[in-house]
Structure 1
Amino acid sequence: MRRRGLVAGVALTAALGATFLVPSMATAATNSPRHGTAIEPGALMNYAINVTTANRGRTLKVERAVTAAGGTVIESYAEIGVVIAQSDNAVFARTLAAEKAVLSVGATRTAAVGPTDPTYGVSDPLAPGESGKRNSNEAKAKATAKTKDEGVEADVNLIPDPSEGKQWDIAAIGADKAHEITEGSRDVLVAVLDSGIQGDHPDLVANIDTSVSASCNSGVPNSSYEAWQPTTSSHGTHVAGTIAAARNGVGIVGVAPNVRLSAIKVVSDDGFIYPEAAICGFMYATATGADITNNSYYIDPWEFWCDNAPDQVAVKTAVDRAVQYSQKHGVLNVAAAGNSGLDLANKTEDSSSPNDTVPVTRPIDANCHDIPAELDGVVTVSSTTVAGAKSGFSNYGLGVIDIAAPGSSILSTVTGGGYGIKSGTSMASPHIAGVAALLKSAHPEYSGLALADVLYEQATDVGCPVGSTQCAGSTENNGFFGDGLVDALKAVN
């Protein structure tokens, strides 16, 4: 199996062009990319801890070690051997690293955890041995209780919604023709890991499954309705509309207008998607029965997480464990390629990270990865224009980009109950998630990576532009379009 993925949609900040406020933290810990995060005495910090063996006994030992080292467990995942902890002990990481049950430990950020951070103070911490149960048991209960409208399928109704004619992207990928066959099954669930989805948007309300939606901003799922509502950004609502805006005589129509959506909020009000939120998101989506996740972001604070930095490689390991666990359980993870216009197959320099303190210019190479999109198995999506060309902002790279979809000037739902146009690989990725949902609806026997393989096989080949010095590869597979432009009609056929 070839390696899938690469840059996961250049954080939410760059992935859609939205504006997020990055706090100024003059007293935050400084960072040395090669040697890890230097934690100032008394500064509160979050850590990802990887257990040597993913089982309950070893994980419990690590939870106890966290407490003994002056830390608190935020969440624990025995099934993947990852513990998320918080401590103000400046030598916490060094102390935990000495434990035999610990494979690696790393700070999840470079700025100290401040009062506005959702994880600040770890409210209502659980005792060692109990933290993992808070996530897994709640999620399993929700997975059992979730509504699927069993046996009910919407009749094919091709009466256009008012603004459907403005959706050039739907026609470009053959979704309008695919809708003549199916508009999706209620048994299919797409989890949108993002900034939340407006729950009462008239074009989305029918398709949002509130029983499996939650916020992961605190590192622990909070399933209250208010928790997963968008507060500072329309990004998640826009993504959701592209995937599954309903055919209901209102506004627009999504790629798969009859599938269900779950909103899993992973973006803080300060605009960060920290590792603990993303890990929670993948684990919660898996536990609640998601078939597909859409990830239009990269995990902060590093655009590229490098193997030669102890903190970064430890976090990358933790996120990868969550992603691989989800894929093992039949989830297809789709991610945006990013908007830096970079050749991801030939990375040389990063000057935008870390974005939570002061960025530094550093050399990067093939051992530095955008996560989650560059993790194995993740479908990485580049963006195309109405003319069928690669969008100028879209990242690219031979062997990195898997497939292409429309991402420039995309009309979709926004908060406030309205509609808006956005551009970015963040807008391309949900087209793939939507087509995957149609494919899953038409062929429920496919799941996880098998869905991806069919999407690649069915994509329409698009060759490199004549005379391009950036695009490498063949017509069948190249750095701009991967295996080609996604084809929704072939998916349902």
Structure 2
Amino acid sequence: MQRRPSLARLGLTMAAASALVFPTAAAQAVTASPDVSTPVAISTPEGETMSYIVNVSKINYGHLRKAERGITAAGGTIVQRWPQIGVFVVHSTKADFLSKLRSSKNRAIASVGPTRTAPVKEGTPAGAKPGKNSQKGTQGFLGYDTGEATAAGPALDPREGEQWNNTLIKADKAHEITDGSRAITVAVVDSGIEPDHPDLQDNIDVRRSVNCSNAGRVDTSSTGWFATTSGHGTHVAGTIAAARNKIGIVGVAPGVKLASVKVVNDDGFIYPEYAVCGIMWTAQKRIPVANHSYYVDPFQFWCDDQADQAAAKEAVRRAFAFAHRRGVVSTAAAGNSAYDLANKTTDETSPNDTTPIKRELNNTCHDIPAELPNVVTVSAIDKESELASFSNYGNGVIDVAAPGRAILSTYPGQRWASLSGTSMAAPHVAGVVALLKSTHRDATANQITAMLREQATDHQCPAGDKKCTGTPAYNSYYGDGIIDALAAVQR
């Protein structure tokens, strides 16, 4: 997958950055291998509620209405409409729904495909009987070293001195200038945030928090965005913006606000319809920064040459493109499989909601959202600034690097915990982006991203490490370098 080189190496100035057009999915397809990836059979038993994505071919009223009529005629129930990007989330109990819609010759429909390989548990608005699903999700690649959660300490006993990560990226120096602006909100697109954590409660933007984990529908209930079965989102939130309040730790941008955008269900899955809902909510609410520390279930890699995967992947791509047009800077974790994303071979972990199979991959197969356009992709480093052993990497894929091993942050139960993963690295970048946005309020998403990458500290490949390719200015482990919070507030 061809990614944009840094603006500094292109010789572009900031004035030109806003006009820069990054490669689209269509442009990237030119480099795709002609080999066919391994198909995954998806069973749709009669009577079981299955979930689908339908993408329209043109985003206008006529095509949307024609697509709706086709969906209904084939036996589908529309769960959520996203007319801005021409996407429908649909449930059906009909075994032949997919084949009927694909053979209908409805020109308003560009693609249709399932969003999961297991039946739906949450049901539909029409009250269809939920399907059975006894599997447990992996929360995309949200697996990490659980570390040790520690009880709340004395109110005046800050643990900022334990935050090697903030020192490494010079966030501590940046805080001598600014903690960030209260006018900036960062969307934590994740598993929810503990609402009464003492290090977070004053920074949560309740009005712009939402739950998207119920079939991909927008749930604005007062408690829907709370953390329920996972502490992941709470940990991510603290890294971004734990408050400067003489309690616990300090986030990279402790002065900004946080929106809890919940996209993880209680079984640990982040299905495409959940992710699309979260991204679209962020864009519609004009939240300027969003962190995505997950990959979209049930596939670690979604392949364009497989119709049953391409439709959902396209819907997620459309959502991120819409968010980018609305000025959202999206940061995403690269993943924890020590995988070279630029040279894919096989995957033995997907689909993770039924029975995984060994799949042969080609260049149309991507980790989403990490490998989508309009996303800042982040690898993880340790205290010595070396690539963490678990971190994915890839020449032309990684944009920047950030601390991701043994990161102390907030955790449910009004505690703090030390966790590891690229999930922990990405929120450092979201925090620096929030500082950039705080000090450059009128900058576009492209300009903010360009500054982030230009300001990053170059880091060369380890001597003798043949997996790391590139130059000190840009390589497969560090991208454009290690992020720099101080530079973000000095410019």
User: What's the TM-score once normalised by structure 2's chain length?
Assistant: 0.85
| 2:73 alignment partner AA | A
Of 29, 52, 56, the match for 1:51 = 56
Could you say which residue in structure 2 is the equivalent of 1:110?
117
2: distance between equivalents of 1:82 and 1:222? 18
Offset at 1:34?
A: 2.2
| 2:202 alignment partner AA | A
Q: Give % identity.
A: 52
Offset at 1:93?
A: 1.5
Q: Secondary structure at the match of 1:330?
A: coil
> CA offsets per residue over residues 138-192 of structure 1, 9 Å max, x none?
xxxxxxxxxxxxxxxxxxxxxx961000000000000000011110011111101
Offset at 1:81?
A: 0.6
Find out whether 1:74 has 2:74 as its counterpart: no
Find out whether 1:378 has 2:375 as its counterpart: yes
After TM superposition, which residue ranges in structure 1, 4 or more long, deviate above 6 angstroms? none
Of 232, 237, 246, the match for 2:229 = 232
Offset at 1:60?
A: 2.2
Could you say which residue in structure 2 is the equivalent of 1:180?
176
Could you say which residue in structure 1 is the equivalent of 2:3?
3
Offset at 1:479?
A: 0.4
2: distance between equivalents of 1:123 and 1:378? 36
Offset at 1:3?
A: 2.4
Quick check: 1:36–1:312 contact (8 Å CA) kept in 2? no
Q: Secondary structure at the match of 2:488?
A: helix
Quick check: 2:38–2:360 contact (8 Å CA) kept in 1? no
Quick check: 1:36–1:309 contact (8 Å CA) kept in 2? no
Of 121, 124, 148, the match for 1:121 = 124
Q: Secondary structure at the match of 1:230?
A: coil
> CA offsets per residue over residues 401-453 of structure 1, 9 Å max, x none?
10000000000000111100000000000000000000000111213222111
2: distance between equivalents of 1:470 and 1:34? 29
Of 391, 396, 402, the match for 2:393 = 396
2: distance between equivalents of 1:275 and 1:386? 34
Could you say which residue in structure 1 is the equivalent of 2:213?
217
Find out whether 1:191 has 2:187 as its counterpart: yes
Quick check: 1:188–1:259 contact (8 Å CA) kept in 2? yes
Could you say which residue in structure 1 is the equivalent of 2:92?
87
2: distance between equivalents of 1:67 and 1:286? 29
1: distance between equivalents of 2:274 and 2:222? 18
2: distance between equivalents of 1:317 and 1:164? 42
2: distance between equivalents of 1:365 and 1:482? 23
Of 253, 268, 272, the match for 1:271 = 268
Quick check: 2:380–2:405 contact (8 Å CA) kept in 1? yes
1: distance between equivalents of 2:112 and 2:41? 11
1: distance between equivalents of 2:4 and 2:99? 34
Q: Secondary structure at the match of 1:238?
A: helix
Quick check: 1:345–1:397 contact (8 Å CA) kept in 2? yes
Offset at 1:4?
A: 6.3
Give the length in aligned residue pairs. 430
Q: Which runs of 5+ in 2 are unaligned?
A: 6-36, 129-155
> CA offsets per residue over residues 366-389 of structure 1, 9 Å max, x none?
110011111112110000001110
Of 372, 384, 387, the match for 1:387 = 384
Q: Secondary structure at the match of 1:228?
A: coil
Quick check: 2:38–2:361 contact (8 Å CA) kept in 1? no
| 1:458 alignment partner AA | Q
Could you say which residue in structure 1 is the equivalent of 2:199?
203
Could you say which residue in structure 2 is the equivalent of 1:417?
414
2: distance between equivalents of 1:161 and 1:406? 24
Kindly report which structure 2 residues correspond to 1:144-163, keeping only aligned pairs within 5 A, or say none: 162-163=158-159
Q: Secondary structure at the match of 2:53?
A: strand
Q: Secondary structure at the match of 1:481?
A: coil
| 1:71 alignment partner AA | G
In 2 relative to 1, CA 38–4 (structure 1 residues): closer, same or farther, beyond 3 Å? farther
Quick check: 1:56–1:79 contact (8 Å CA) kept in 2? no
Q: Secondary structure at the match of 1:183?
A: coil
> CA offsets per residue over residues 355-374 of structure 1, 9 Å max, x none?
00000001112110011111
1: distance between equivalents of 2:209 and 2:481? 33
Could you say which residue in structure 2 is the equivalent of 1:140?
none
Quick check: 1:86–1:122 contact (8 Å CA) kept in 2? no
In 2 relative to 1, CA 2–451 (structure 1 residues): closer, same or farther, beyond 3 Å? farther
| 2:70 alignment partner AA | A
1: distance between equivalents of 2:69 and 2:212? 24
| 1:383 alignment partner AA | A
Quick check: 1:167–1:411 contact (8 Å CA) kept in 2? yes
| 1:294 alignment partner AA | N
> CA offsets per residue over residues 221-246 of structure 1, 9 Å max, x none?
11122111111110000000000000
Q: Secondary structure at the match of 1:225?
A: coil
Of 31, 37, 42, the match for 1:37 = 42
Offset at 1:64?
A: 2.3
1: distance between equivalents of 2:444 and 2:246? 32
Q: Secondary structure at the match of 1:395?
A: coil
Quick check: 1:216–1:266 contact (8 Å CA) kept in 2? yes
Kindly report which structure 2 residues correspond to 1:252-263, keeping only aligned pairs within 5 A, or say none: 252-263=249-260
Offset at 1:2?
A: 6.4
| 1:108 alignment partner AA | T
Which deviates the most, 243-252 or 37-46?
37-46
Offset at 1:78?
A: 1.0
Quick check: 1:337–1:401 contact (8 Å CA) kept in 2? yes
In 2 relative to 1, CA 440–355 (structure 1 residues): closer, same or farther, beyond 3 Å? same
Which deviates the most, 71-80 or 425-434?
71-80
2: distance between equivalents of 1:456 and 1:2? 17
Kindly report which structure 2 residues correspond to 1:277-316, keeping only aligned pairs within 5 A, or say none: 277-316=274-313
Could you say which residue in structure 2 is the equivalent of 1:341?
338
Could you say which residue in structure 2 is the equivalent of 1:473?
470
Quick check: 2:286–2:327 contact (8 Å CA) kept in 1? no
Q: Which runs of 5+ in 1 are unaligned?
A: 6-31, 126-159
2: distance between equivalents of 1:88 and 1:277? 20
| 1:90 alignment partner AA | A
